[in-house]
Each structure stands twice: as C-alpha cells, then as structure tokens.
Amino acid sequence: MVHQYQQKISLKSLCQWVQLPLSSYHYKPLEGKPGAKPSLYTSMVNGKMVLNEDIVTTIKELLGKEFVCYGYKKVTASLRQSNFIINDKKVYRLMNERNLLLGKVIKTTGKREFVKHRKINATCPMDYLCLDIKYIWIHGEKRWYYLLSVIDVFTRKIIAWVLQRSIKQIDVINIFRRINQQHPIKGVNIRNDNGSQFLANSVKRYLSSEEAKQEFTHIATPQENSYIEAYHSILQSEVVERFELNSYYEAKLIMSNYVEFYNTKRIHGSLNMKTPQSVWDTWHLQNMSPLLENTRKNHIINQKCQTFAIN
C-alpha cells in the first residue's frame, strides 16, 4: 500500500496512516547469522596468533590419548595449561562443529587383533616392529612436539622416526610407506597401542593392503609394548633431560644424531653388548651369503648350458 501511493503522498504520512514506523519500513535483514563473525585465530600467552585449525588439531591429539574422555570444559583447562588464551564457549563451538563433544566422537569400525603374548620372540630383522608416540617439550617454543618411532624388535634398531607438531593417521601411513620402500613389510607383525592414529581405518586398510599384520596392546598395559617404551625411556634420560631444546630444528638435528648414535655406537645388554646395526648387518651377512652363493652357482651353470647348446 505504501509503494502504491508513495508518488502522491509523502512517505512519512503514508507510514503514519498505516501505523508503520519508518525504521521498520527501511529495515533490511542482513545475510547470514546475526552478530560478529567468529575469529579465525586464537592468542597465546607469548602473543603469538594460532589458527583455529591448529587448536582443533591439538584438541584431537588430547582426545586421542588413552583414557582421556574430556568434555569441553576440561579441554579448555588443558589448552590454557598449554598457554592458549581461550574461553570455554569457543572450545565448545570448535568441538561441536567437528563432532568432538562427548557422545559425538566418531568411533572406528572393524575388528582389532589384540596381543596374544606379551613377550615377542622375533627370529629375524623385520619380523616384528613396534611403534609409539612420545611427547617432546621444546623449551624455546614453549610447546610440545610429537615423536613417532618404529623399532625392529630382533635388532633393537630404530628403522624410522618422525618429529612433528602433530601426528596424524596419514603420518603413520607415510612412515610405513618409507619403510616399505627399503624393507618390504609384507608378512611383518606390527604392534602398537590404541592411540587414535593407529586405530584409524585408513591405517588399518593400508597395512592390510600390504599384507602386514597389525596387533593392538590391551588397554593400560604399556608392558606389552615394552620394546619401544624402553627406547623412549632411554631417549628421555640420555637426550630430553640433558638438553634444553631451543627450537624444532635444533630438536630434529639432535634426534637425528642420537638415532645414528643409538643404532651404530650404543651397545645393548640385551644384544650381548653389541649395537643394533651390527646385529642387523651380521644377520644379513650370514643369511644372505648362502643365497648369493647359490645365485652365483646357478649363473655359472646357466652359462655352461648356453655354451654347450651353442657348440
């Protein structure tokens, strides 16, 4: 009606006739949700700004630990203890958007093969591999980094490791891809705990596709994964407690040097005072030499047969 007579009578008079406030007439609804848009960053105590996606990654890592069943308030408290300046409303929103609230966590599917024997009787290199994640505090950056290590049980050799701000399921897959390029994992027994990265369906599918046998330790039984636990304990006393790590790059360099030392120079009582690399090399030398000799003999026989056929 206002639009119909607006050319003949003033807008103010028309609004008074129909008892419509001018403010209501001029009102145009805004697109999207009302209020200010949520920020994309979160502050830290040191003034650094962190993307919300990094906060979500930290929350997933926290919830991925065994026995951790936190709601958003305990998650908020944990984040504040890690020097994040964040309130529980924001934590609730981030967790709710990604189905991380209690009762909304997406569970993995498929049957898990649990450890049948606590002690591992490995008979050769690449018979049994154990892996686990250790938290490393970087003093200079005032934050935790995550170390994923893979140990060969027979030789106690660390055959792969990675140090990162977070360990995701794709990182577990990639570390086994690198191992598989040098030492095929077909038929290898792989033991790990029930961390979310190891439980992931994508990890289980990859190991199954490579015909590796994955087994899980029982809840609250770290002694079933004692080989990698022992290595991380040694690492703690010989590196973490002796060096103040000032940056990620320094930590990565020190870890690289230590793994080299551990594999090639550090003697082990369980290996009759030998190093992991020497046990690895000795086994391959003893077991590959007969194979190489048979291959050489077969080659000579084939050459003689070809010579005889020509003559």
Segment 288-307, tens digit of pLDDT: 765 555 555 555 545 545 54
Segment 74-106, tens digit of pLDDT: 999 999 999 999 999 999 999 988 878 876 554
Q: Which CATH number fits domain 128-271: 3.90.600.10, 1.10.3720.10, 1.10.340.30, 3.30.420.10?
A: 3.30.420.10
Q: Please compute the mean of the pLDDT values over residues 121-139 and round it to a whole number.
A: 95
Domain range summary for the chain, segments of one domain joined by +: 41-97, 128-271
91 contacts 75 by C-beta, under 8 angstroms: yes
pLDDT, residue 307, reads 44
Rounded to the nearest integer, the mean pLDDT of the chain is 85
68 contacts 62 by C-beta, under 8 angstroms: yes
C-alpha dist (Å) from residue 207 to 50, 82, 186, 286: 34, 34, 9, 29
Q: Give the closest residue to 141 by CA, choosing from 75, 243, 46.
A: 46
pLDDT, residue 303, reads 57
- In this predicted structure, the answer to whether residue 145 has a pLDDT above a threshold of 90 is yes
